[in-house]
Amino acid sequence: MLKIISANVNGIRSAYKKGFHEYIAASGADIVCVQELKAQEPDLSDDMKNPHGMYGVWHCAEKRGYSGVAIYSKQRPDNVQIGMGIEEFDSEGRFVRADFGKLSVISLYLPSGTSAPERQELKYRFLDAFYPMLAEMKAEGRDIVVCGDWNIAHQNIDLKNWKGNQKNSGFLPEERAWIGKVIADLGWVDMWRKLYPEVPGYTWWSNRGQAYAKDVGWRIDYHMVTPDLAAKAVQAHVYKDEKFSDHAPLVVEYDYSI
């Protein structure tokens, strides 16, 4: 069995203070994809680089205390790709890929457009650039999972207050249509929705009000998976026993070995 976790930690140092390091060990995960490190490489302790002896690869943002992604794995990758090859996005530390035999795992942090119109425009540029990359990866014929914070809720079931968010970044018609094409046209499988068609599966809650307590959430963290690997998914859950950040880890188990 292969257990893969995706977790936006909203600051790796903050999450470690809240028990994320211990959670990695207790989870029994084979691979952990982390987003929003909010740290430069010199800021990362040995435990943050290689937790519990796992092999770590990371892509930090140039801006201090911002963005950044990582992959931790029990097995050393055969090959690693740091970044997308597009400076505008790579400077923000949004993509890292690790290959293990026929399996490829990607930790992705797709831009948010909530802070300013300029950031929404950057988000659209990212979508335009990432779509052909997803098509190329799908065409590789490998087993691939793109884990991470996609910052888009696809359908009404994916956020509690969908009626009130139709004009807000993360649930705009153009964004929802884009992720719909990734699934319908490119053939990627939204693993949670495939396993649990009727379960919301929220993974992020606003810090405003009592969103977490009242479970007024969004499902914006995904395992987006190639079909052959998706067919091997056994079960999934959103881990809420502890709170490491404003996101909760998404855990998927596959009947698969590397």
The H or E element spanning position 99 is: strand 95-100
DSSP 8-state assignment for residue 159: B
The answer to whether 161 is annotated as binding is: no
- The residue type found at 168 is N
Q: Compute φ and ψ for 211, nearest 5 degrees.
A: -55, -45
* Residue 53: partners with Cβ closer than 8 Å, 6 or more residues away: none
By three-state DSSP, how is residue 230 classified?
A: helix
Residues with active-site annotation: 109, 149, 247
* Residue 173: partners with Cβ closer than 8 Å, 6 or more residues away: 166
The answer to whether 246 is annotated as binding is: yes
Query: Pairing between strand 143-149 and 221-225?
Result: antiparallel
* Residue 135: partners with Cβ closer than 8 Å, 6 or more residues away: 186
**What is the per-residue burial (b if ≥16 Cβ within 10 Å, else e) of 58-72?**
bbbbeeeebbbbbbb
Q: How far apart, in whole angstroms, are the C-alpha atoms of residue 107 and residue 101?
A: 17
The answer to whether 151 is annotated as binding is: yes
Report the Cα–Cα distance between both ends of the chain, in Å, rounded. Answer: 10
The answer to whether 52 is annotated as binding is: no
The answer to whether 228 is annotated as binding is: no
DSSP 8-state assignment for residue 247: B
The answer to whether 190 is annotated as binding is: no
Positions at the binding site for Mg(2+): 8, 36, 149, 151, 246-247
